[in-house]
Amino acid sequence: MKKENDELRVLSPTAILGYGFPEKSFFAGLALEPDLIGVDAGSTDPGPYYLGSGKSFTNRMCVKKDLRLMIREGVKRKIPVVIGSAGGSGAAPHLAWCAEIIEEIAEEERLSFRMGVISADIPKSMVMAELRKGAVKPLAFVPELTEMDLKNTTNVVAQMGVEPIIRALDKDCDVVLAGRCYDPACFAALPIRLGFDPGLALHMGKILECAAIAATPGSGADCVMATLKKDCFILQSLNPARKFTRQSTAAHTLYEKSDPYNLPGPGGTIVLDRCKFTEIGDGRTCVTGSRFVKSPKYMVKLEGARRIGFKCMSIAATRDPVMIRNIDSILDAVRKSVEANLKNEKIAGRIFFHLFGKNAVMGEREPVKNSRPVELGILIEVLSPSQDEADAVCGVTRSTLLHYGYPGRISTAGNLAFPFSPSDLKMGEAYEFSLYHLMEIHDQNVFRLKIMEFACAAKQNRTGRKKGGAR
């Protein structure tokens, strides 16, 4: 039974594992004796390619650098280290990739510890059975899942909540490496296990998963400490150049939300309608009023990606005011010319033009319609069934646009400037999200736990403050 004045401190080094953090900030956090080091390693923000291909969107050397500090110091100080969404997307190949890095660190640093590895992969047969029962539901603006889409999906993961991580901590794991994970879970699991309020713990985790982004000035590559108490949590930057203000903390609470008061996740919703943010001095902000409301069914978000072909792209630019003024009609004519040129050879490819300086970010939704840029960046993107076809269509599109004769054109030397040689860049396999759906689970054992023991010759002294203990 905890005393009323018990508190728990959580250190978040960086917004994404591999983004880096100042060692000075990290050791300032360690000096405050945290009970947990947590880090979110993944996101769907970089798009479907990484989940579909099984590759990480973060650099291996940078991930290893971050992990070396976290694991070495965590094991040495008996502080549990919890990593969520390993390898960026949290599927089996990402989990194995990150586990291999940790194994290298254990050997190089001669560390002895126990690691729990939690899989987030969901068998397609299980999803198919639920789909046929009508139990797989799309999120907003997502189409219904079809059996063909599911069959063509490479990796299927579910966002786990805190329960699988708690199970690993119950097994006395010093390090927990989780597959695809609800962002706050790697920070909230230990506090919830110890009896702290789930609403406060999860809201705290939602801010900590982005580290110092919620401070001002914000940074995704700097460290933050949170102190969780019975009725609140307190955020502080570990870099004197940053501070948490009422505004910066509240603003980040709105981050990635379609509803400012309700944030759904595995098993329930964080409710923020009574939330208050209070500055308490020294660059710290105290947060109260966060609640967690359990849902009638335990729903998890499924994520998956399927291959849709191969891509090639070319980057070019123009500064000709005549071409810029007529760019839409010119690109339309070039597209038609290329399609006619390749039709008899049956070389297939969809051509996309992205106009930087006009509407590359917002596309047809761009509200400024009549701007007159001095120069335009033109990104030619081609999607085809094979890499050879993508290369062919991109090359013909680039050359056609380069020498296309439009009304008012004076120079015949070429319409485009190219920043790179070669001008055409093979992008390889292309993917799109095929699963972004909700499914009920009835058993947390769907997230399989494997225990790995690292026992190096120079074993660590395993005495000291009990792992997972709160003050």
pTM of the model as a whole:
0.92
Q: Has residue 1 got a pLDDT over 60?
A: no
CA dihedral 186, 188, 191, 194 (to 10 degrees): -80
Q: Has residue 461 got a pLDDT over 70?
A: no
- Do 277 and 228 sit in the same domain of this protein? yes
Tell me if 138 is assigned to some domain: no
Domain membership of residue 382 as a residue range: 307-431
Q: Has residue 469 got a pLDDT over 60?
A: no
User: Which residues share a beta bridge with 227?
Assistant: 9, 234
Q: Is the dihedral of CA 20, 26, 29, 30 positive or negative?
A: positive
Q: pLDDT above 70 covers what percent of the chain?
A: 96
Q: Provide mean pLDDT across the span 163-187.
A: 98
Tell me if 269 is assigned to some domain: yes
Tell me if 152 is assigned to some domain: no
> In the prediction, which pLDDT does 468 show?
43
pLDDT tier at 457, thresholds 50, 70, 90? low
- Do 342 and 240 sit in the same domain of this protein? no
Query: In total, how many domains does the chain have?
Result: 2
- Do 255 and 346 sit in the same domain of this protein? no
- Residues 374-407: tens digit of each pLDDT: 999 999 999 999 999 999 999 999 999 999 999 9
- Do 314 and 427 sit in the same domain of this protein? yes
Q: Has residue 313 got a pLDDT over 90?
A: yes
- Residues 270-311: tens digit of each pLDDT: 999 999 999 999 999 999 999 999 999 999 999 999 999 999
- Residues 359-373: tens digit of each pLDDT: 999 988 999 888 889
Q: Provide mean pLDDT across the span 254-274.
A: 91
Q: Provide mean pLDDT across the span 106-119.
A: 97
- Do 29 and 98 sit in the same domain of this protein? yes
Q: Higher confidence at residue 3 or residue 264? A: 264
> In the prediction, which pLDDT does 58 show?
97
Q: 230, 208, 219, 225: which is closest to 284 by C-alpha?
A: 225
- Do 281 and 311 sit in the same domain of this protein? no
- Do 214 and 68 sit in the same domain of this protein? yes
Q: Higher confidence at residue 370 or residue 262? A: 262
> In the prediction, which pLDDT does 121 show?
98
- Do 370 and 252 sit in the same domain of this protein? no
Q: Has residue 340 got a pLDDT over 90?
A: yes
Q: Has residue 252 got a pLDDT over 90?
A: no
> In the prediction, which pLDDT does 460 show?
44
Lowest mean pLDDT among 1-15, 177-191, 227-241: 1-15
∠ CA 380-382-383, rounded to 5°: 155
Q: Provide mean pLDDT across the span 403-412.
A: 91
- Do 182 and 228 sit in the same domain of this protein? yes
CATH of the domain at 313: 3.30.70
Tell me if 91 is assigned to some domain: yes
> In the prediction, which pLDDT does 92 show?
98
Phi, psi of 393 (to 5 degrees): -65, -40
Q: Has residue 112 got a pLDDT over 90?
A: yes
- Do 72 and 114 sit in the same domain of this protein? yes
Cα–Cα distance measured from residue 183 to residue 265, given in angstroms and rounded to the nearest whole number: 9
Task: Give the pair of three-digit tokens for residue 34.
Answer: 């945290």
Tell me if 115 is assigned to some domain: yes
Tell me if 20 is assigned to some domain: yes
Alpha carbon of 453 to those of 53, 175, 321, 436, 449: distances in Å? 29, 10, 66, 35, 13
- Do 357 and 270 sit in the same domain of this protein? no
Q: Has residue 464 got a pLDDT over 60?
A: no
Q: Has residue 343 got a pLDDT over 50?
A: yes
Residue identified by tokens 């991109």 is 394
The three state secondary structure string of the chain is: CCCCCCCEEEEECCCCCCCCCCHHHHHHHHHCCCCEEEEECCCCCCCCHHHHHCCCCCCHHHHHHHHHHHHHHHHHHCCCEEEECCCCCCCHHHHHHHHHHHHHHHHHHCCCEEEEEECCECCHHHHHHHHHCCCEEECCCCCCCCHHHHHCEEEEEECECCHHHHHHHHCCCCEEEECCECCCHHHHHHHHHCCCCHHHHHHHHHHHCCHHHHCECCCCCCCEEEEECCCCEEEEECCCCCECCHHHHHHHHCCCCCCCCEEEECCEEEECCCCEEEEEECCEEEEECCEEEECCCCEEEEEEEEEEEEEEEEEEEECCHHHHHCHHHHHHHHHHHHHHHHHCCCCCCEEEEEEECCCCCCHHHCCCCCCCCCCEEEEEEEEECCHHHHHHHHHHHHHHHHCCCCCCCCCCCCCCECCCCCCEEEEEEEEEEEEEEEEECCCHHHCCEEEEEECCCCCCCCCCCCCCCCC
Alpha carbon of 29 to those of 11, 26, 239: distances in Å? 7, 5, 9
Tell me if 137 is assigned to some domain: no
Name the average pLDDT for the chain.
94
Q: pLDDT above 90 covers what percent of the chain?
A: 89
pLDDT tier at 2, thresholds 50, 70, 90? very low
pLDDT tier at 467, thresholds 50, 70, 90? very low
- Do 256 and 294 sit in the same domain of this protein? yes
- Residues 124-161: tens digit of each pLDDT: 999 999 999 999 999 989 999 999 999 999 999 999 99
CB 75 within 8 A of CB 460: yes
> In the prediction, which pLDDT does 254 show?
81
Q: Is the dihedral of CA 234, 235, 238, 241 positive or negative?
A: negative
Tell me if 468 is assigned to some domain: no
Any residues with CB less than 8 A from the CB of 211 and at least 6 apart, and which? 12, 13, 14, 15, 21, 219, 220, 221, 222, 223, 224
